[in-house]
Amino acid sequence: MVDRADVVVIGSGGFGASTAFHLAERGVQSVVIDRHAPASQTSPRAAGLVSHARTTDLMVELVKRASAKLERFTEDTGQPLDWTRSGSLKVARRPEDVPVIEEDVARGLRLGLDVEQLSGAEAHDLNPFLEDDDVLAVLRVGDDLYFDPAQVAIGYVRGAEARGATVLANTTVTRVHVEDGRVEAVETDGGTIRTQIVVDAAGAWTRQVAAASGIEIPLVPTRHQLFVTEPLDAVRADLPIVRIMDAAVYVRPCDGGLLWGGYEERPRFVDMDALPRDFDMAATPLDADVLRGLAEDVRRQLPILSEAGVREHRGGLPTMTADGQHLVGPAPAATGFFVAGGCNVAGLSISPAIGDALAAWIVDGAPPLDLEPLSIERFRGEGIAEEELERDAAWQYRHFYGAV
Ligand SMILES: Cc1cc2nc3c(=O)[nH]c(=O)nc-3n(C[C@H](O)[C@H](O)[C@H](O)COP(=O)(O)OP(=O)(O)OC[C@H]3O[C@@H](n4cnc5c(N)ncnc54)[C@H](O)[C@@H]3O)c2cc1C
């Protein structure tokens, strides 16, 4: 095993793999360590949706950068990525959600997005699976796209390896050794690697990896799941993604059928310390009744979800934060300790931009744009009690589409 590295990246999911790739593009060869097979955990289980209608200018900018990188993924990495710029339709069923759509349109136009407000009937013309019963307003986002989630992290892993990065699979980081407030080494079950820079991109395990060095990262692994239906007549790959705001349900075309999922009111949080040491995301406990309940909630707008046969049921453990924003950047408690976590069920789509920004930060000493709103520092001071974290994270989870 290597015993020295310029940078050690812990985790080869979307966040870690993209960071390693963008470091390699800048001539820095990292060692990427993963306790499982590369890119095999939450990342390949995602829905693969990219959403540009975000609540802050920073997030819109990051998503714009990420989607541009997804569209030229093959050119940049030499690895395959199937993607479709289908656009999307975000649906308000309650009067209180209509102003949110109006704000989305105003912000989107100001930031150069292809957005407009439509009626339910106009939206139905764009995607016939969406019925206009009880639909009050629809946000159309022409920029939105979807991609094959299984290709992104592994593509970045292979692209990084081709540019000189070393990937150590089936190797667990047990502790980041910090001395006098500086990262000195990474200890693994296969030996120690001396390094001064570490990136904790351990997904559901991000908190445990940091805690082993006394660093608190307030995020909570949260079960999220989806169905892929049997092929259906009338599904076309370019049908726009549909999102129902208050029900927090999404649907997009997938291999001739539909892929759909949603965010339940009371999400299931998971304590990683309570799971077996060799826990694999493939063993995430799923619950079809949660999805059936969500299908019932949107039966009048998306009756197909209650009718279509299911070909695949999958899920994983993305991580939620108390304010719904990612956790990206240096951990103030230890020089050289960087974090890319708190994906809030939207990390894969933004990973091209986050990895690029972190790589620039590590190499140049500063990020290419102001990422202060995503800093770990924001939860410092009094910290955040576990109860409060779970309460706020549950709210953020259910309100991902901006419903009030
Ligand atoms: C059903 C579902 C739908 C989703 N839909 C979307 C979507 O439409 N759009 C979107 O952007 N996101 C979506 N997501 C969220 C997305 O999957 C995550 O945000 C993203 O994959 C997080 O990537 P990651 O790199 O943080 O985690 P992971 O992919 O889990 O990678 C973390 C890696 O760290 C490794 N690791 C952990 N601990 C250690 C250790 N101690 N030593 C070594 N290695 C370690 C793990 O083995 C793992 O491979 C969805 C998620 C699910 C489950």
pLDDT digits (tens, 9 = 90+) for 142-182: 999 999 999 999 999 999 999 999 999 999 999 999 999 99
- Checking if the pLDDT of 300 tops 90, the result is yes
- CA 11 to ligand 1: nearest atom: 34
Cα(first)–Cα(last) distance of the chain, in Å? 52
Question: Residues of the chain with pLDDT > 90: what percent?
Answer: 97
Closest CA relative to residue 352, chosen from 198, 155, 218:
155
Q: Which residues, 6+ apart, have CB-to-CB distance to 291 below 8 Å?
A: 225, 226, 227, 260, 261, 262, 313
* Average pLDDT score over the chain: 97
Distance 315 CA to ligand 1 centre (A): 11
Using most ligand atoms within 8 A of CB, pick from 343, 351, 400 the residue to mutate for ligand 1: 343
User: What is the rounded distance in angstroms from the CA atom of residue 361 to the CA atom of residue 248?
Assistant: 34
Residue 379 — pLDDT band, cuts 50, 70, 90? confident
Ligand 1 first shell, C-beta below 6 A = 10-16, 33-36, 40-43, 45-49, 153, 172-173, 201-205, 209, 224-226, 261, 315-316, 318, 341, 343, 345-349
Distance 352 CA to ligand 1 centre (A): 14
Distance 11 CA to ligand 1 centre (A): 9
- Checking if the pLDDT of 382 tops 70, the result is no
Distance 47 CA to ligand 1 centre (A): 12
pLDDT score recorded for residue 381: 65
pLDDT digits (tens, 9 = 90+) for 61-98: 999 999 999 999 999 999 999 999 999 999 999 999 99
Sheet holding 49-50, edge to edge: 49-50, 145-147, 83-84
Sheet holding 173-179, edge to edge: 173-179, 182-188, 191-194
